[in-house]
Each structure stands twice: as C-alpha cells, then as structure tokens.
Amino acid sequence: MESYENKTTFAHDDSDVVVIIGSGAGGGTLADELTRKGIDVVILEAGQLHKRSDFIADEWASFGQLAWLDNRTTSGTWRVSRDFPNLPSWICKAVGGSTTHWAGASLRFQPHEFRVRTEYGEIPGANLLDWPLTYDDLAPYYARAEDKMGVTRTNGRPGLPGNNNFKVMHAGAKALGYEQVHTGNMAINSLPRDGRSACLQRGFCFQGCATGAKWSTLYVEIPRALATGHAELRPQSHVARIEHNQAGKVSGVVYFDADGNEQRQAARAVAVAGNSIETPRMLLNSHSSLFPDGLANSSGQVGRNYMRHMTGSVYAAFEEPVHMYKGTTMAGIIQDESIHDPSRGFAGGYEMETLSLGLPFMAAFLDPGAWGRDFTEAMDAYTHLAGMWLVGEDMPQERNRVTLHDSARDQYGLPVPDVHFDDHPNDVAMRNHAFERGIAVYEAAGAKKAYKTPPYPSTHNLGTCRMSASPLDGVCNGFGQTHDVDNLFISDGSQFTTGAAENPTLTIVSLAIRQAEYIAEQMAARAI
Amino acid sequence: MLDHSVSRRGFLKATGNTLMGTLAMTSLPVAILAPGKSWALELQSLTGRQGEVLLKLTRHIFPHDTLEDAVYALVVKDLDAASADGDVRNMMAAGIEHLNERAGGDWLDLDEDRQFMHVRAIAGSEMFEKVRSTAVVSLYNNEMAFRHFGYGGELGDAGYLQRGFNDLTWLPEPPAEASGPVYGSAG
C-alpha cells in the first residue's frame, strides 16, 4: 500500500515553493511532474486523505465519504437546479480529487475540437473561441499521459473485457450500423501494472477503486511526488484566497487548516486546480485594490463560460436479464456520433458510453422527483436494465457562470459559489438527437421500454478560467499561465476554451504535464 | 375483510408506539435474509397509528406489490428519526391529519383506489415531499431491497471477474477486437 508520509516539510514563510491548490487530475499530475524535475511543491488539498483501503462499496456511504458537499447554490433553467439546488456538481473533496470517483474514460480530443470557432463559425449566444494551442501541440503530451495512466488500447495494452452492459450496447450499435464500438480507452488496468492489479470488475468505479486498477492521482502521482522529498501534502487545507505583492505577483496562499485555524503559505508561484467551481471562486475571493474584480480577471471572464457537457442517460428494460452493475461502470463506447456534422441540426458531437448505477443511485437519479407506477415499474426491472451515458460538447455562454453569493457563507465565513446554467439551443438539439439514437441502440437490441434520464449533477465542470490567445477574452494563455499574473497558473479543466465531446481527464493530465515543463523553464530562466 | 393485496402483504398492525407485521413471504431472497417471520418497529416520536399511515402512504408513492412491508417499515423508521425534530413531527402530524380529514375521518379505512385518489391530491405538499424524498433513499438503500430487486450491493466488493460480469448469453458475443481478454483465464 502507498505511503503518504511527508519526507519533507516546508516552512510557511518559505517563498521558494510552488503552491499547488488541489490534488486531482490537474494538481496531482503537476505535483508529480514538478517534483521529478526537483522543484519543491506544497500541495494544499481541501479534502481528507482516504486511502484506497478506506473506500466503501456502498453508494450513499461512499458519497458521504468522497463528495464535495460544502454548500453551493444554483440558478438558471437547468433541471439540476430544481432537483439538486445545493448540489450543482458531483465531484470530490478528498486527496486525489475527482480521480477517486471518475470512471476512467481517457479519450483524446479530436483535432478540430481545438479550433471550433473556425470550424463551427459563429453560433448566436455561444462565446466560441479557438484554443490557443493545437492538437499537434498537445499530441506528444497525450502520449505521455496515456502511458502514465495505463490507458487501454494504447501502447499495446489490451482492451478491458466487455461486461453484460457492453454486450447489449454492442449488439444494438452493430444492428444500427455503427462502426466504432469497443470497450473504450480506459485508464483501468487490463493487465497488472505499476504494482496495481488488473481490474476485478467490482462495479464500484464511482466509489473509489479499492484494488487501484483504475488510475487515480491518490495512489499514483501523490505518493510518487512525496517519495521524491520535494513535496509536502497538506490535506484538509481549505484555501480562502491568494495574496499578491505590490508588483502584482502572487506571493502566498491563505488557507484554513484541519482545526479551522487560518494559515499562510508563501509561494514563488501558485497553481490553482480546484475544479471549475472552486478555482474561479478562489480567484474572485482574492479581490484586492489592485485586482478589484478578482485576481487575474481583467478580461471579466473569470467564472464565465461555465460548461458541464451536454449529458443525459438512456436506460432500457429487456426481456432477459442484464445485471449491468456487474463490472466496470463505463464498460464500452460508441464513437460514431462524436463527429461534427451540422446536418444533424447541431454543431459538435457526442459519445455514447455505457453506464450503470447501483439500486440506491438508480432510485435517486432515474427521474428525480418522480413517483408512482411508472417509476416503480422501472425499478422492478432493475436486473433487466442496460444503461448508457450521453456526453457531448456544450456551448460556452458568458451568462453561464460561477459567481460569489451575496449573503450565503461557508463554514469559514467565505462567500459560497452560485452556479448559473441555462442550456444553449445547440445543447438541447444535441441532447434530443442523442436520446433518440441511444433509444434506437437499445431497441435494436430488443428493448421493451426505454427511459430518458435527465443530466446528473455535473461531473465535467469546465471553462471558467479559459485559455485564450488574447488577454481580452480569456483568463490564461496556452500554458495555463494567467494573462494578468505571470506566476499564477490555472491547472485544471477551468482552462478549457471549449469542452469537446470527450471526457476531460486525459486532456487535463496532458495539459498539466505540458504546464510543468513550462513552469520549470520559466523558473530556470528566472522569468517567475 | 382483507382485500387480496393486503393478504398478499401479510399482517400489519399498530399499537401504542409500535408498528408490527409479518412477512408475506412474497420474496424468497428477502425471506431468507429475515431473522424471523414477524417484525416490530418501536417508534420514538410518532405513534404506531401514524407509522401505519406513513407505511401505507409510502406503498402508494412507490408501489412494489411484492415488496415486503418490512422494507417499507425502514422508511417509517427514518421518518420517525427525522421527527425527533419537533417542527418535522408537527408537520408530519398535520399532514396526516389533513389526509384523514380529506378522507372523511380515517384514510386507512378507505379502499386502495380511494386512498390513492387522496394521495394524488396531496402530491407536492410538504408532508408528501418529506415522505417521497426520504423513501427514495431509504426504500432502496438496504440489504433486503438489494435482494428483492436483485442488486449485488457489497457482494460486488470481491469483484465479478470470475462471478458473472459477462455471463449474458442471449445476445451475440462481441468480437475479440471490440472487447478484451479476461485476465487470469486461459485462452
């Protein structure tokens, strides 16, 4: 089992360290990459350390253990705001962040998805922009991320064996003529690797992988960074604000420790990786006389362009049993609809990925608020259900944004974030298409009845500190370095200029590897 | 006289602060799990009669005809725990009283169809929402429900790799290139 012992500790006034806020896909990867280069880092993680032996094979109990449950508010016309008004997102507050909970899907973005303003043209209401980097810029880092994470179907690694849920998807997809159907590119060991076992098909991917077959920074990057002697991990360190000096460079981070005492860690540079709600919240809460609208917010884009992916699920009941809960949660994919084909009535594309929920979460998420015979008939069919998640590119909109609540305060007295979201017409058209195709897949496999399940609280939170070529319409450059503050970096999915159709983690990890090289160069050149 | 659906569900009775019943043995996996054929729930904040109303109301909100009352009683248990808060207890009591008033005195005494008519009428009320939102968790988050509905629960902890994760045989097997080898299996 991994060691989390801090071999090194740094003084709070040590201004040579890079402070990384967050230990998930972005922060955890950055810590590993920087410490390999001999750079000292302090990792401030708001959540507790739960080792993988602490994980719980029980949906609600695990949710209580791992999920980010601090108060948040919601607004806008999205249904999540009605059904789960204080739970806009389903992400984690734990060492390892949401890589404890993620399903493992590791897809590269497609080349055209880095230049959608050019490819899609102007779409009313959408704040589209090309990324300030290209697919070719990122390709070598995708390769390194795939190797680091042990992604199946890359580097000669076999695919995972298909479970029952995949068999249903595959049969229906093939009957419809879909070509790109397989058990996915998953950061889940199909063979033992890195001292971690092959997948045992437990079916608790969302609850933390107790065998470690699924990649997570919790038991890969964090222990490796600590072992170098160049990292100190401080769990239960909830960041309040980032401070700067008179020259406008960040100089330290103020946080509350496990006992609720305010602490300050000096910093040579700060990398923010708190996921797309907390990251802009920290910048907004760091306003000062020099940065009255929040740190690094001269563009006014901090918190804006919040994206959550177009999502939805289809569950379908069959005459014969499926037992979808047996085995990996995301066990297979149909990729044919991920192309950009405006003849379908919308820009961008979507992936269809198997998904299963245990009985407790099926009740909670199938159709929140529903009751009566229609609902219980679906639950009665639980063992005969197959399921898929639909995930596609949603349009960035300026009004979809994270703001600070006027009056609600958290346990530390800090303004809580409000998450506002309205679907763009393109999102609605894509979801309708995806529902129709998802149902068609299951009907082609013999489904008796199909259910359209609305979006869950957001697992893919993106875009709230986006990259841009110009400082006027984005927060950071192509390396995640903020336009306004040279030694402040955005290191999570907040950087995404647009969302693409694919699950974001592989791209977050790839960007973090690339960012680490850039930070090391900038430090060596004494530019920061 | 007991109607058919009640007799299928077995015996349910409220006295004082206790709700008790017997298993109808409609679900063999649940029967195997149960320590005995009868069960009793001693309530702390609600009366036995209120518990009986809430159990029956939950059966209307989430009707599973062959699911034992003993599982629905877990919802009552959680509502009782929530009713330790005086505001919740008063709200529940007022909601039940309102239901009885609508029914002309005793909602439980009505036949199933007429009971349901009144349930529809109070849908969305505070008491209804409290029962629904509690039940959607409590009813489906216990070992008996897992057995009844056929969910593996923590049995999955050891992994299904050698225990049926790919045992579906009523559809064609995906080709090898779409799937992958089962680790640890020969061939």
Average pLDDT over residues B25-48: 83
Tell me which chain A residue has its CA closest to the CA of residue B119.
A372
C-alpha span between B170 and A263 (Å, rounded): 61
Predicted confidence band at B1 (pLDDT cuts at 50, 70, 90)?
Answer: very low
pLDDT the model gives residue B152: 97
Q: State pLDDT tens for residues A279-304.
A: 999 999 999 999 999 999 999 999 99
Closest CA to A430 of A311, A308, A307: A311
Q: Is A61 an interface residue toward B (CB < 8 Å)? A: no
Q: Print the SS3 string covering A333-402.
A: EECHHHCCCHHHCCCCCEEEEECCCCHHHHHHHCCCCCCCHHHHHHHHCHHHEEEEEEEECCCCCCCCEE
Look at B150 and A190 and tell me if their CB atoms are within 8 Å.
no
Q: Is B61 an interface residue toward A (CB < 8 Å)? A: yes
Size of interface A-B (CB pairs under 8 A): 158
Q: Is B136 an interface residue toward A (CB < 8 Å)? A: yes
pLDDT at residue B26 is higher than 80: no
Burial B94-103 (b: 16+ CB within 10 A, else e): ebbebbbeeb
Residues 6+ apart with CB under 8 A from A210: A52, A53, A55, A57, A202, A204, B157
Beta-strand relationship, A333-334 and A181-182:
antiparallel
Q: Is A72 an interface residue toward B (CB < 8 Å)? A: no
pLDDT the model gives residue B36: 77
Q: How many helices (H) and strands (E) does chain B have?
A: 8, 3
Bridge partners for A312 per DSSP:
A390
Closest CA to A391 of A344, A451, A330, A341: A330
Tokens of A53: 């032996």
**pTM of the model as a whole:** 0.97
Chain A stretch 406-465, residues whose beta carbon is closer than 8 A to a beta carbon of chain B: 445
Nearest by CB to residue B136, choosing from A358, A364, A445, is A364
Predicted confidence band at B7 (pLDDT cuts at 50, 70, 90)?
Answer: very low
The DSSP call for residue B35 is S
CB A501 within 8 A of CB A392: yes
Q: State pLDDT tens for residues B75-95.
A: 999 999 999 999 999 999 999
Q: What is the largest CA-CA distance in chain B?
A: 71
ipTM field: 0.95
Beta-strand relationship, A181-182 and A350-354:
unpaired
The DSSP call for residue B44 is S
Q: B119 to chain A: which residues are within 8 Å by CB? A: none
pLDDT the model gives residue A37: 98
Closest CA to A280 of A108, A456, A475, A112: A475
Predicted confidence band at B11 (pLDDT cuts at 50, 70, 90)?
Answer: confident
pLDDT the model gives residue B187: 44
pLDDT at residue B30 is higher than 80: no
pLDDT the model gives residue A85: 95
Angle between helices B126-138 and B112-122 (to 10 degrees): 110
Tell me which chain B residue has its CA closest to the CA of residue A62.
B154
Look at B157 and A204 and tell me if their CB atoms are within 8 Å.
yes
Predicted confidence band at B156 (pLDDT cuts at 50, 70, 90)?
Answer: very high
Looking at every residue in chain B, the average pLDDT score rounds to 91
CB A344 within 8 A of CB A196: no
pLDDT the model gives residue B6: 43
Look at A371 and B61 and tell me if their CB atoms are within 8 Å.
yes
CB A281 within 8 A of CB A32: no
Q: Which residues of chain A have pLDDT under 50?
A: none
Q: How far is B103 from chain A (nearest CA, A)?
A: 20
Nearest by CB to residue A60, choosing from B141, B163, B165, is B141
DSSP H/E element including A490: strand A488-490
Q: Is B184 an interface residue toward A (CB < 8 Å)? A: yes
C-alpha span between A218 and B176 (Å, rounded): 32
Q: State pLDDT tens for residues A261-278.
A: 999 999 999 999 999 999
pLDDT at residue B186 is higher than 70: no
Q: Is A242 an interface residue toward B (CB < 8 Å)? A: no
